[in-house]
């Protein structure tokens, strides 16, 4: 199986702050670091490190070449990434507080220049039985889902950031992986409810899919028709939670696409995400398959 991750490539500017800046407030940050990021890029790295054959499609501007180097180092094929000359690479302004939590402001840049022509050219190299992994940081997502479905590809969606274009796509999705804020938004709840209940309600919307809800230190929940499971989180001291969800997504899919059952894949993904939050940055924090397997073995002893 080939896995195509069609998604964003961002430069992440991470500012260490004592607290998230409020409306009308001017706040001095303590430091600035630039990292490789973007939910698409992070998930491609995680999918590849989890042991899959991964192709990344997307777009960068003239300032984004180093993002492709990182993907290639992780073993990801970058032939389907377009280099644009008239637009900047996407970026994210990330505030990181003392607990390692973040809030993220996106500038789409080249990620919003994906065209139907690029989608058609890319999908020509994939067929039924291959998988498509998506987030919501690129343009033309509805067209991409429609064409991939018509080609018989399996589709995994991480609906982040949430917006009105996503609910109509859900009926085409085979794997829905999301956090509790996205789940609450999809279910029109003002604040996240009980995770088990939200997982069940999401499955009721897409009964043929698998739904995987991550709830940070409270673990993760899985539902498919007739099955409901919970996986505890691995307790760690977090320094930076950026890309924890992307790491979980890549390793969960890495498990199931390599033939493991959902319960094993949830453990694999939870351990990978736990390791990622102990390190700074997005893509650079994602562990290798060997590290994750060694930690799983240590936990079983």
Catalytic residues: 246
Q: Which of 76, 153, 215, 243 binds ligand RIB (CB under 6 A)?
A: 243
Site string for ligand RIB, 1-40 (x = CB under 6 A): -------x-x-x------------------------xxx-
Cα 157 to Cα 15, 167, 203, 249, 293, distances in angstroms: 29, 11, 14, 9, 25
Site string for ligand RIB, 113-152 (x = CB under 6 A): ------------------------x---------------
Q: Is 285 in the site for ligand RIB (CB under 6 A)?
A: no
How does strand 131-134 pair with strand 154-157?
parallel
C-alpha 285: how far from chain center: 14
Q: Which of 13, 42, 80, 286 binds ligand RIB (CB under 6 A)?
A: 42
Please compute Rg for the chain using Cα positions.
Answer: 18
Q: Is 246 in the site for ligand RIB (CB under 6 A)?
A: yes
Please identify the residue of the shown chain whose CB is closest to the bound ligand RIB.
Answer: 37
Which residue(s) pair with 93 in the sheet?
13, 105
- ∠ CA 155-219-215, rounded to 5°: 70
Q: Which is nearer to ligand RIB, 186 or 203 (CB)?
A: 186
Half-sphere exposure of 241 (CA within 13 A, CB side): 20
Cα 229 to Cα 68, 86, 163, 299, 300, distances in angstroms: 37, 48, 28, 20, 19
Instruction: Find out whether 153 and 55 touch, Cβ atoms under 8 Å.
Output: no
Residues 88-117 contacting ligand RIB, CB under 6 A: 92, 104
Q: Which is nearer to ligand RIB, 45 or 169 (CB)?
A: 45
Q: Which is nearer to ligand RIB, 46 or 203 (CB)?
A: 46
Size of the site for ligand RIB (CB under 6 A): 15
Site of interaction with ligand RIB (CB under 6 A)? 8, 10, 12, 37-39, 42, 92, 104, 137, 242-243, 245-246, 282
């Amino acid at each position: 199986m080939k896995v195509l991750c069609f998604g964003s490539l961002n430069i992440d500017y991470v500012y260490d702050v004592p607290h998230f800046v409020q409306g009308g407030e001017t706040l001095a940050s303590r430091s600035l670091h630039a990292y490789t990021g973007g939910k698409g890029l992070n998930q491609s790295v995680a999918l590849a490190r989890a042991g899959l054959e991964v192709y990344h499609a997307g777009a960068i501007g003239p300032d984004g070449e180093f993002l492709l180097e990182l993907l290639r180092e992780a073993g990801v094929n970058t032939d389907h990434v377009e280099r644009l000359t008239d637009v900047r690479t996407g970026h994210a302004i990330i505030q990181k507080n003392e607990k390692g939590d973040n809030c993220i402001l996106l500038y789409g840049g080249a990620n919003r220049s994906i065209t139907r022509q690029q989608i058609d050219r890319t999908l020509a190299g994939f067929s039924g039985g291959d998988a498509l992994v998506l987030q919501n940081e690129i343009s033309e997502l509805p067209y991409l889902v429609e064409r991939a479905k018509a080609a018989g590809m399996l589709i995994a969606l991480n609906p982040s950031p949430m917006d009105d274009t996503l609910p109509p796509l859900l009926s085409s999705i085979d794997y829905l992986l999301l956090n509790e804020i996205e789940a609450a938004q999809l279910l029109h709840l003002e604040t996240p409810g009980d995770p088990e209940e939200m997982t069940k309600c999401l499955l009721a919307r897409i009964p043929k899919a698998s739904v995987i809800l991550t709830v940070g230190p409270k673990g993760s929940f899985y539902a498919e028709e007739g099955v409901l499971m919970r996986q505890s989180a691995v307790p760690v001291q977090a320094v930076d939670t950026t890309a924890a969800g992307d790491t979980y997504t890549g390793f969960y899919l890495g498990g199931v696409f390599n033939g493991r059952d959902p319960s094993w894949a949830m453990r694999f993904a939870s351990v990978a995400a736990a390791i990622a939050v102990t390190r700074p940055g997005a893509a650079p924090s994602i562990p290798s398959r060997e590290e994750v397997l060694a930690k799983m073995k240590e936990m079983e002893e």
